[in-house]
Amino acid sequence: MRSIIVSGVDPFFAFDVFTIEDPLRLGIGSYVIAVPRSPRSAHGIAVNNGYRYPCRNDPSIVYLSQTEIASGGLKFGATFARDWAGAGGDALYPGPHLCARRRPAPHAHHTRPRRSAGTSRHPTREWPVPAAERVTPLDGLAGDTPDLVSATALLVGDLYRTFGQRDVLHITPEGKVAPARWGHLQSEIEKWAHDNEIDTI
């Protein structure tokens, strides 16, 4: 049973499996899986060729967006650094490290090179580029603050653009949130923003 659970979840989380026997029927019973709150959340479950990140919302289950996952990761890392590692001051975090460009491959001679049928004259090449570094107060990332919203928007925006997607519209680099963009979570986001003095648009 453990191997079945572990094979479909990433990152791995701690859990216990208990066998509960039916006192009236020998050899028959059930399993109880106890899962304590995990410090490594969010956990993805394998679906087709990727992972989805479930989250319980009252009696139903919803799936976290990339924005929510990034925000949770930043907050967890900042809280750990401040409260457990004794760090303080500003947090420095990078943007993407790799950028794809299309440019002609260099040739040793001026004569036109021969190429096979179906190949591009200008092949796509990738090379590392300097990461865009960002600085945010560590305390701002460790709580539900405009600094956390801003840092998440910048980080997720970098990821979206790296993969050719449009900018994230749920939150802004100015530290504001757009509740209407969160679908069924709109009312919860509005309350969260109000309780934490975060501006909405």
pLDDT value for 196: 94
pTM above 0.85, yes or no: no
Q: With contact defined as beta carbons under 8 Å apart, do 9 and 45 qualify?
A: yes
Q: Average pLDDT for residues 119-146, to the nearest whole number?
A: 67
pLDDT above 90 covers a percentage of the chain that reads: 13
Tokens linked to 19: 């066998």
Q: What is the pLDDT of residue 101?
A: 43
Per-residue pLDDT reduced to its tens digit, 37-95: 777 767 778 877 777 777 776 677 777 776 777 787 788 888 888 888 888 888 776 65
Q: How crowded is the C-beta side of 80, counted as CA atoms within 13 Å?
A: 8
Contact present, 91 and 135 (Cβ < 8 Å): yes
pLDDT score of 131: 53
Q: What is the pLDDT of residue 176?
A: 94
Write the burial class of residue 81 (CB in 10 Å: 0-12 exposed, 13-18 middle, 19+ buried): middle
Each domain of the chain, given as residue ranges in start order, spans: 1-64, 65-103+125-201
Percent of the chain at pLDDT exceeding 70: 76
* Cβ pair 138, 82 in contact under 8 A: yes
